């Protein structure tokens, strides 16, 4: 399928999505958000794909929601369209792992899209922020909630109240990103990690993603029970038999389940 604002490409078992509105630093207009969700859903449904990488350009992962598109909207426009509910809910519903490979600016909605991915690999050039306060608005794709869970109340509050940016080193120290890689290696490294994930048992990968995500959504006791039930159900899969047999037989497992 041809898209106007993103590029898509399969690299072996990895679906690579590149945000591509360079003239606007990948600002997230309705068309881009719609295309991003459609591409994610297509890879989610594709049996040949085991993991998805979302990236931007060297200068910007995405510099936020499209301010020029939002500027004239009224309260009733935003409320009636339930603005940003769609992309948020469609990305949350993706079952396969999504890695955000972030170089340059990830601001406002850009930071929020990165946080909606399952983890963030950051280039040493990455800059994260929620600068909505400078526009007279607040984050609208979950940023105030997710940033707080990632980095804690104090830092999230400071970022949302001042709009200041965090560089990659601070983002790694704060736990927003899993690790930092040199900018020139970012996409290759993300593809390498995604390929390693795609080579594992796909039903078990989906369960692991669900289990970690559950930590955000309920109490600890409920999350631990949810994890334990999923853990039990891994024993209903052929890949559990293969994975454990391979360990005992001192060989590499060959996972087959899609
Ligand atoms: N929306 C629309 N256009 C944007 C944009 C955005 N979020 N960010 C950048 N652009 C456009 C600029 O208007 C400019 O276009 P023109 O050449 O046509 O004027 C082009 O991209 C290049 O940007 P700059 O000239 O500003 O580039 P710079 O290198 O000088 O600055 C920047 C880079 C610091 C990221 C600056 O562009 C900036 O501050 N952008 C806005 C960041 C922001 O406020 N993001 C939050 C948006 S609100 C939001 O996201 C709400 C939400 O929670 C969902």
Structure tokens given for 231: 């853990």
Q: How confident is the model at residue 216 (pLDDT cuts 50, 70, 90)?
A: confident
Catalytic pick from 35, 132, 172, 189?
132
Closest alpha carbon to 176 in 88, 124, 219, 114? 114
Residues in Cβ contact with 129 at an 8 Å cutoff, skipping those fewer than 6 apart = 105, 106, 107, 108, 111, 159, 163, 164, 165, 166
ipTM: 0.99
Do 88 and 141 contact (CB within 8 A), yes or no? Answer: yes
110 catalytically annotated: no
Within this chain, domains 6-199 and 202-249 share the same CATH topology? no
User: Once rounded to an integer, what is the mean pLDDT over residues 111-136?
Assistant: 98
Query: CATH says 6-199 is which class?
Result: alpha beta
CA pair distance 61, 168, nearest whole angstrom? 13
**Within a 13 Å sphere around the CA of 207, how many CA atoms are in the beta-carbon half?**
21
Closest alpha carbon to 73 in 131, 127, 30, 122? 30
Taking the centre of ligand 1 as the mean of its atom positions, its distance from the CA of residue 25, in whole angstroms, is 7
pLDDT value, residue 92 = 97
Q: How confident is the model at residue 223 (pLDDT cuts 50, 70, 90)?
A: confident
What is the position in ligand 1's atom list of the atom closest to the CA of 139? 53
79: left (phi over 0), alpha (psi -120 to 50) or beta: alpha
Helix (H) or strand (E) holding 36: helix 30-45
**Within a 13 Å sphere around the CA of 41, how many CA atoms are in the beta-carbon half?**
14
Cβ < 6 Å from ligand 1: which residues?
A: 24-25, 27, 63-68, 84, 105, 107-109, 112, 131-132, 135, 139-141, 143
pLDDT value, residue 172 = 98
156 catalytically annotated: no
CA pair distance 151, 157, nearest whole angstrom? 10
Taking the centre of ligand 1 as the mean of its atom positions, its distance from the CA of residue 26, in whole angstroms, is 9
Homologous superfamily (CATH) of 202-249 is: Lyase 2-enoyl-coa Hydratase, Chain  A, domain 2 (1.10.12.10)
Has residue 258 got a pLDDT over 80? no
Q: How confident is the model at residue 149 (pLDDT cuts 50, 70, 90)?
A: very high
> At which residue do the structure tokens 């109490």 appear?
219
Pocket-testing residue among 31, 64, 159, ligand 1, by greatest number of atoms within 8 A of Cβ = 64
Catalytic pick from 50, 56, 109, 110?
109
User: What's the gap between Cα 126 and its chain centre?
Assistant: 15
pLDDT value, residue 257 = 78
Q: What percent of the chain shows pLDDT beyond 90?
A: 96
Has residue 250 got a pLDDT over 80? yes
Has residue 1 got a pLDDT over 80? no
Domain boundaries, the chain: 6-199, 202-249
CA pair distance 207, 241, nearest whole angstrom? 16
CA pair distance 19, 56, nearest whole angstrom? 5
Catalytic pick from 62, 65, 103, 122?
65
**Length in residues, the chain:** 258
Helix, strand or coil, per DSSP, at residue 10: strand
pLDDT value, residue 99 = 99
């Amino acid at each position: 399928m041809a898209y106007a604002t993103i590029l898509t490409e399969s690299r072996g078992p990895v679906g690579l999505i590149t945000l591509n509105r360079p003239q606007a630093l990948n600002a997230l207009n309705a068309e881009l958000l719609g295309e991003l969700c459609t591409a994610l859903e297509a890879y989610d449904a594709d049996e040949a794909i085991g993991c998805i990488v979302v990236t931007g350009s060297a200068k910007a992962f995405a510099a936020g929601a499209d301010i020029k598109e939002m500027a004239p909207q009224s309260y009733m426009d935003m409320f009636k369209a339930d603005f940003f509910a769609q992309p948020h809910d469609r990305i949350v519903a993706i079952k396969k792992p999504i890695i955000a490979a972030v170089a340059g600016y990830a601001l406002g909605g850009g930071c929020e899209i990165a946080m909606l991915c399952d983890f963030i690999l950051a280039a040493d050039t990455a800059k994260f922020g929620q600068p909505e306060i400078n526009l007279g608005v607040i984050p609208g794709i979950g940023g105030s909630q997710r940033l707080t869970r990632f980095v804690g109340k104090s830092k999230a509050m400071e970022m949302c109240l001042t709009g200041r940016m965090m560089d990659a080193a601070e983002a790694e120290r704060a736990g927003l990103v899993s690790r930092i890689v040199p900018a020139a290696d970012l996409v290759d490294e993300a593809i390498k990690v995604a390929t390693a994930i795609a080579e594992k048992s796909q039903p078990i990968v989906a369960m692991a993603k669900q289990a970690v995500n559950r930590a955000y959504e309920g109490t600890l006791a409920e999350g631990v029970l949810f994890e334990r039930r999923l853990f039990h159900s891994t024993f209903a899969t052929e890949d559990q038999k293969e994975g454990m047999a391979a360990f005992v037989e001192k060989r590499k497992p060959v996972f087959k389940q899609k």
